[in-house]
Structure 1
Amino acid sequence: MTEPAPAKVNLTLHVTGRRADGYHLLDSLVVFADIGDRVTVRPGGACLRVVGPMAAGIPDGPENLVLRAAALMGTEAEITLDKHLPAAAGIGGGSSDAAACLRALARLTGARLPDDVLSLGADVPVCLLARAARMRGIGEEITPLARLPLLHAVLVNPGVAVSTPAIFKRLVRRDNLAMPERLPGWHTTENLLLWLATQRNDLEEPAIAEAPVIADVLEKIAATEGCALARMSGSGATCFGLYPDPHSAQQAAHKLRRDHPDWWVMPTRLS
Structure 2
Amino acid sequence: MTVTLLSAPAKLTLSLSVVGVRHDGYHLVDAEMVAVDLTDELEVSDGEGLEVVVPDSGLEVSDDGENLVARALRLVGRTAHVVVRKSVPAGAGLGGGSADAAAILRWAGWDDVAGSVVLGADVPFCLVGGRARVTGIGEVVEPLPFEERAFTLLTPPVGCLTQDVYRRWDEMGGPLGAHGNDLEPAAVDLVPALVRWRDELGDAAGCRPKLAGSGSTWFVEGEYPGEGRRVVRTLPSA
1:203 aligns with 2:180: no
State the Cα distance separating 1:90 from its structure 2 match. 0.5
Alignment of 1:57-136 (within 5 A): 57-106=60-109, 112-114=110-112, 116-136=115-135
Measured against aligned partners, the alpha-carbon deviations of 1:75-131 in whole angstroms (never above 9, x if no partner) come to 01111101111111110011011101111233xxxxx44562111000000001121
* Deviation string, structure 1 residues 135-157 (Cα, Å, up to 9, x no partner): 00100110001242x22111111
Cα separation, 2, equivalents of 1:83 and 1:201: 26
Distance 1:153 1:73 in 2: 34
- Between the two proteins, what is the percent identity of the paired residues? 36
> Aligned AA for 2:157?
G
Contact 1:54–1:85 (8 Å) recurs in 2:
no
SS state of the match for residue 253, structure 1? coil
Q: Which amino acid aligns with 2:21?
A: R
Query: For the residues of structure 1 that align with 2:208 and 2:129, how far apart are their CA atoms?
Result: 23
The 3 A distance-change label for structure 1 pair 175 and 57 is: closer
**Matching residue's letter, 1:237:** S
Maintained 8 Å contact 2:7/2:103:
yes
* SS of alignment partner, residue 168 of structure 1: helix
Partner of 1:260: none
Q: Deviations over 1:13-36 (max 9, x none)?
A: 111111111010000000111112
CA contact (8 A) 2:130 2:146 kept: no
Q: CA deviation at 1:211?
A: 0.9
Match of 1:239 in 2: 218
Equivalent residue number for residue 253 of structure 1: 225
Query: Displacement, 1:52?
Result: 4.2
Question: Partners of 2:179 and 2:63 in 1: how far apart?
Answer: 38
| Corresponding residue of 2:55 | 53
Residues 122, 140 of structure 1: 8 Å contact kept: yes
Asked whether the 8 Å contact 2:225–2:231 carries over to 1, the reply is yes
2:43 corresponds to: 40
Q: How many residues align?
A: 228
Amino acid at match of 2:185: E
Q: Calculate the aligned-residue CA RMSD, in Å.
A: 2.1
Say if 1:120 and 1:15 are closer, same or farther in 2 by CA, change over 3 A: same
Whole-angstrom CA distance in 1 between matches of 2:38 and 2:175: 33
Q: Which amino acid aligns with 1:157?
A: T
The question of whether the paired residues in 2 share the 8 Å contact of 1:228 and 1:242 is answered with: no
Amino acid at match of 2:144: L
- The amino acid of 1:221's aligned partner reads L
Q: TM-score, normalised by structure 2?
A: 0.88
Show the counterpart of 1:28: 31
Contact 2:99 2:127 in 1 (8 A): yes
Distance 1:229 1:145, change over 3 A: farther
Structure 2 residues without counterparts, runs of 5 or longer? none
The one-letter amino acid of 2:16's match is L
- Give the Å deviation of 1:175: 8.6
Q: CA deviation at 1:229?
A: 5.1
Q: Shift in Å at residue 59 of structure 1?
A: 2.1
The amino acid across from 2:27 in the alignment is H
Return the index of the structure with the highest Cα Rg.
1
